[in-house]
Amino acid sequence: MKSSFRNVTRVVAIFTVAILIFAFGGRVISSVGNIDNDGAIVDTDGAYGDAKSDFSQNGLKAVWISYIEFQSVDFSTQESFTADIKEMFANCKDMGLNTVIVHARSFGDAFYKSAYFPYSHIITGTQGTDPGYDPLEIMVDIAHDTGLRIEAWVNPYRVRLYNHPKALSADNPAQREELTITVESGIYYNPALQEVRDLVTEGVLEIVRNYKVDGIHFDDYFYPDTAEEIDAGDYAAYNGSLSLEDWRRENVNMLVRQVYAAIKQENENITFGISPQGNDDNNYHMQYSDIGLWMSEEGYADYIMPQLYWGFDYLTKSGSDRYGFKNLSYSWSQYKKADGVKLYIGLGAYRLGDGDGGANDQSEWESGNNIAKMIQVIKANPDLDGYGIYSYNSLFDSSTYADLKAREVQSITKENNG
């Protein structure tokens, strides 16, 4: 009897362990993917998984979709907005891209439901008016369903650019004038203030926490002016040893470090990148952004994407070819990079048909394959990791240069998928 009981107990124990292993193993496998008939794990993210894999293996292939593009989107109903975004994202996917970089906050406002910033005037015509749906939530869902990564594009300081928007909502935090500086070009949050850095950071964190974005993206709007009087009082109160210029650069450094750390603490898989001007002298001396530092030291950014918006043949009036695309892209590729920091290149599709204003023949911008040739240069340089194209309308708005744009799209598609 005792022997039989032991045998039964042993069988029950083995059976119980088997069930536990199967159940636990099933949960582990389901968190990674399903198993096909050959025993291989299959990605359950579908097309979105393909986009992440392409991004990981082949680098960034992106397009910017700005508030300018959004002005031609029908925000009147959730259905019309969804239809327009589906068409836009499908065009991006068909071109072989893996990422869309969409404006989430362009003027101290929001294309999403925010606890800190009012709804953008682009949506309803009046800043602060609730459209009755959440545009960013819809864009994230559509991007992933289409098979695209999506990064939320934030302008950290800009509140008003000339007369755009015409009026700030009553609940806009920029109504507190002590937080802002006003220059000829408009209104900007004051980079010298810790309260501003905290506001920008909290605004980024609510995107990271509430939306399944793949990245946060800043562009090149940092200090809006070099005039000494814009922050003279703050500098006088500083009482440190830094020059005005270095103090301003450190103000921006503190914001970038703070945002990066906050993102990584919340979700280390979300990328944080910055797209400065292609002329790094302007970044350093006019906008007080130390791109070399952000690239070479950890804790600032996952990627830098300078805007190289000049052609292969570009010449300055003095005859310098320093800013010609091959020369400038190579120059950027020689910057020191910390481990893990990527270098992407911003491409200026808005030059198509109009040229880049150089003192040279402009026919390359009418070739129908100029952007594709730039992508070839990027792919051939092992120190460059991808690209972003500015901007969507420059390729798909058929009101001007329709045939030229169509040929460029065809060339880019062939380069990406060939």
289-305: per-residue pLDDT in tens?
A: 999 999 999 999 999 99
Residue with tokens 């970044």: 283
Within this chain, do residues 28 and 56 fall inside the same structural domain, yes or no?
Answer: no
Q: What's the confidence (pLDDT) of residue 371?
A: 98
| 66 shares its domain with 194 | yes
Task: State residue 42 phi and psi, 5-degree precision.
Answer: -105, 135
Indicate left, alpha or beta for 245 from its phi (over 0: left) and psi (-120 to 50: alpha).
alpha
What is the β-pairing status of strands 149-154 and 215-218? parallel
Domain count, the chain: 2
Q: Is residue 38 part of a domain?
A: no
Within a domain: residue 42? no
- Let me know if residue 172 belongs to a domain: yes
Look at residue 156 and tell me if it is in a domain.
yes
Q: Are residues 94 and 17 in the same domain?
A: no
Q: Are residues 173 and 320 in the same domain?
A: yes
Say if 40 falls within a structural domain: no
Q: Report yes or no on 167 lying in a domain.
A: yes
* CA 55-59-65 angle, 5° bins: 75
How far is residue 265's CA from residue 72's CA, in Å, rounded to a whole number?
Answer: 37
Q: Are residues 190 and 73 in the same domain?
A: yes
CB 219 within 8 A of CB 155: yes
Question: Which residues of the chain are under the pLDDT cut of 70?
Answer: 1-44
> Which residue range is the domain that position 10 belongs to?
1-33
Tens digits of residue pLDDT in 277-292: 999 999 999 999 999 9
Q: Indicate which CATH number applies to the domain containing 295.
A: 3.20.20.80
Residues 238 and 96 in one domain: yes
Residues 224 and 106 in one domain: yes
Query: What is the per-residue pLDDT for 45?
Result: 77
**Is 83 found in the same domain as 117?**
yes
Phi-psi region of 400 (alpha: psi -120 to 50; beta: other; left: phi over 0): beta
Whether residues 5 and 141 fall in one domain: no
Q: Is 203 found in the same domain as 94?
A: yes
In 230-306, which ranges are E strands?
Answer: 271-274, 303-304
Same domain, 323 and 384: yes
Do 11 and 116 lie in a common domain? no
